[in-house]
Amino acid sequence: MIFEVLTTPNPKLRERSREVLVNEIKTPEMQKFFDDLVETMKVEDGIGIAAPQVGNNIRVIIVLTKKGPEVFINPEITFRSIKKVKEEEGCLSVPGVYGIVERCKEVRVSALDRNGNKIQPDTKGFMSIIFQHEIDHLDGILFIDRAKKIKAEGTSRI
């Protein structure tokens, strides 16, 4: 099933998402949700998507990694580099709008995978930007809240 991606000013995008309970992760319903969220991201030509973007306010993100789309449950940033980078970002939930956002150059994320196993990827550069962008969604923060320069055209599809 392909979900409809919510767009601003939908108030669900501004809610803080609840944590996913460990016993929920392996249920058939949750596993199907993960698969459907991945498919939605692919259809939308995204490189990341968060559950709140499809109206489900739970702490789940999908990130397109070198291995392909991966599920990250209850992700938290546990390390942030002092060095920053400024990159153009866009968002499936803010169509046609792009902006320059300053983020940490490197972050370490602690999360659970779709099997409930703890994972802690260290990310750099563009991959760290994707994680920071998607985790922001879980707290009701959109890139436009952080952007310094906003314009109505660009290239990013986070």
Instruction: Give yes or no: 134 in active site.
Output: yes
**From residue 86, how far is each of 1, 38, 132, 142, 145 by CA, in Å?**
35, 27, 13, 16, 15
Long-range contacts of 24-32 (CB under 8 A, 24+ apart): 25/73, 25/112, 25/114, 25/115, 25/116, 26/115, 26/116, 31/114, 32/1
User: Which residue in the list 19, 24, 87, 134 is annotated as catalytic?
Assistant: 134
Could you give the residue numbers annotated as active site? 134
